[in-house]
Amino acid sequence: MFVSLFLVALCLCFLLLQLKPWRPKNFPPGPLSLPIFGSLLFLNLENPLKDFERLRESYGNVYSLFIGRKPAIIINGFKAMKEAIVIKSTDFAGRPQDLFINDVTQRKGRVWVIMADYGPMWREHRRFVLMTLRNFGLGKKSMEDRILDEIQHTIKTLENNNGKTLSPQVMFHNAAFNIICQVLFGVRYGYDDETIKLIVRCFAEMTKIANGPWAMLYDSIPLIRHLPLPFNKAFENMEIFLSVSRRLINEHKKTRVPGEPRDFVDCYLDELENRHYGSTFSEEQLTRITFDLFVAGTDTTSNTLLTGFLYLMNFPHIQEKCHREIDLVLAGKDRVTFEDRLSMPYMQAVIHEIQRIANTVPLSAFHCTTKDTELMGYSIPKGTMIVQNLNSVLREELKWKFPNEFNPENFLNEQGEFVKPDTFMPFSAGPRMCLGEGLARMELFLITVTLLRKFTFIWPENAGEPDYTPVFGLTLTPKPFTMKVKLRSIY
């Protein structure tokens, strides 16, 4: 009996040792890793950012964790980030292809541009998307026109609440949703439309699952992937969005005039007609890209705007300086243009400071090494997951005048001129830099300036002390708050 128990215990120990992750030679250090779970038990999965900072203090700017048996490298600080993402960009330009979020978005062999692995399909589509968004003439209405048109609906909401208190969360989210919807499909939805409610619900549920324990278990224990567990809801919601996208694409096919694109979908369909056999372009791929751009352009923009107005209300002296510069530069003009930013150094500094302090996508999208390489003297094998802790750069000591304060002086020199430091990388950097950077920069400037030109935003007297601590997720979201809006006296 004793011998049998001993043999069973020996087998269990052997099995656990086989399941235990092992660090390769000269691999970055890190905390203890356990069988099956790896390092996950040492992280607060609801918000691991503080744990990442704690581990950085113990192990340095480059350290390792294990998601199950899969190793991951956490990169901190500008020096390490620059070496990986800029200097050795192609070595670190891959995407891990066996995670929950990948499986949700890549069914039936299709990929989306953000999570596609580094290769011909990714390069071909990324080049097309960037070119189309950069040269966004699209018929008679430019990207700038579409943004300014949508802002009028936001202004109407604020005018109806003049002197009152309102919750801005839905207002900003709907504005960002409709802007990207007009860019992609040339349509906008009323804020009570069932389509916008459906897509918002699908996105919210997918984000909650992707940020929760079920996604972590999916990544750590592959055997559970085929079981009827809650993570399957994300796959269902993905199909709901794709069905809406397919319907809108089919409507475009019936009404489009080749060579006269009205929006992004028309541009893609034109390109599809001109591509030769063997191209990675397809109608099904187009549905994935629309999802890609919705993800890149909705929550990120709306959450940055929410963070911005939360701070502007509670730093009224900064809001007042914005008012003065806006009034001076836009005197006699009907509306702001994106070109006006060149005459507004303080406004540019404020918007960049909002982006820095918001750090809306704190871990960016995960990278993975495309070959055996090195980072800060450590050996990194091919296929290793790379996680960028952008907070460690955007608030790095000695790199910013006021790293832990909301202060536009971080982006102004002694002459009051706007200066953007190399350490400003909320969109990451290198070949995997965020696709939606250009659209986001335009949206943030035009929306913020237009609203500040017409309104003063006030922290309500009965709202108590502001809580700047965001809610962790795929994006950082400010906790719900209210604002008091007042029409400026010049109107």
Please state the domain extents for the chain.
Answer: 40-487
At residue 304, the pLDDT reads 95
Q: By three-state DSSP, how is residue 457 classified?
A: strand
Q: What gap in Å lies between CA 414 and CA 174, rounded to an integer?
A: 39
Neighbours of 131 (CB within 10 A): 12
Q: What are phi and psi of 312, to 5 degrees?
A: -60, -35
Q: Which helix (H) or strand (E) holds 379?
A: strand 378-380
Q: Which range, 16-25, 307-316, 426-435, has the best average confidence (pLDDT)?
A: 307-316
CB of 61 within 8 A of CB of 377?
A: no
pLDDT band at 347 (very low <50, low <70, confident <90, very high): very high
Does residue 325 contact residue 349 with C-beta atoms inside 8 Å?
Answer: no
Higher-confidence position of 424 and 107: 424
What one-character DSSP code corresponds to residue 34?
Answer: B
Question: In what helix (H) or strand (E) does residue 240 lie, and over which residues does it extend?
Answer: helix 232-255
Identify whether the C-beta of residue 240 lies closer than 8 Å to the C-beta of residue 198.
yes
CA 242 remoteness from chain centre: 20
Note whether 412 and 363 are within 8 A (CB): no
For residue 112, the number of C-alpha atoms closer than 13 Å in the C-beta half-sphere is 23
Its sign, for the CA torsion 322, 329, 336, 424, is negative
pLDDT in tens, 220-256: 777 778 888 888 888 888 888 888 889 999 999 999 8
Mean pLDDT of 136-151: 75
Cα 223 → chain centroid: 30
Closest CA to 264 of 159, 336, 169, 187: 187
434 and 367 Cβ atoms separated by less than 8 Å: no
| The CA-based dihedral angle spanning residues 471, 351, 76, 31, taken in that order and rounded to the nearest 10 degrees | -10
At position 475, the amino acid (one-letter code) is: T
- Of 63, 74, 8, 44, whose CA–CA distance to 389 is shortest? 74
At 355, the pLDDT band (50, 70, 90 cuts) reads very high
Please check the confidence at residue 277 and state whether its pLDDT lies above 70. no
Question: Would you state the pLDDT for residue 482?
Answer: 96
Average pLDDT over residues 31-57: 82
What's domain 40-487's superfamily in CATH? Answer: Cytochrome P450 (1.10.630.10)
- Most trustworthy range by pLDDT among 50-54, 257-261, 450-454: 450-454
- Average the pLDDT over 474-486 and give the result: 91
* Residue with the larger pLDDT of the pair 43 and 413: 413
| pLDDT at residue 203 tops 60 | yes
pLDDT band at 363 (very low <50, low <70, confident <90, very high): confident
